[in-house]
Amino acid sequence: MIDMERIRRLNNYDTDALIAVLELNEDRLYAWLDLGSVTVVRDDLDASINYVKALREIIKAERPDYVSPYEALLPI
């Protein structure tokens, strides 16, 4: 289970910092899944996907108009 409050605290409740973390994780996940890179986001693919989903949920709640550059590219 992803602790959303902990994610917020680790980023000092800064939405811009959360967006940067999201985009970094999406970039790595995209490289790993779609480009066949050996880049590993986390030890477990399911955990990586769930982490990205949780970040997206947090950010969408705070900034409904935000659209991630990888949202259309990652089928999650």
**Distance between CA atoms of residues 15 and 39, nearest Å:** 26
Distance of CA 38 to the CA centre of its chain: 19
Decide if pLDDT at 38 tops 70: no
Decide if pLDDT at 64 tops 90: yes
Of all residues in the chain, the percent with pLDDT exceeding 90 is 24
Decide if pLDDT at 41 tops 80: no
Residue 57 neighbours by CB distance under 10 Å: 11
In total, the chain counts a number of residues equal to 76
Q: Which residues contact residue 2 at a Cβ distance below 8 angstroms, ignoring those fewer than 6 apart?
A: 50, 51, 54
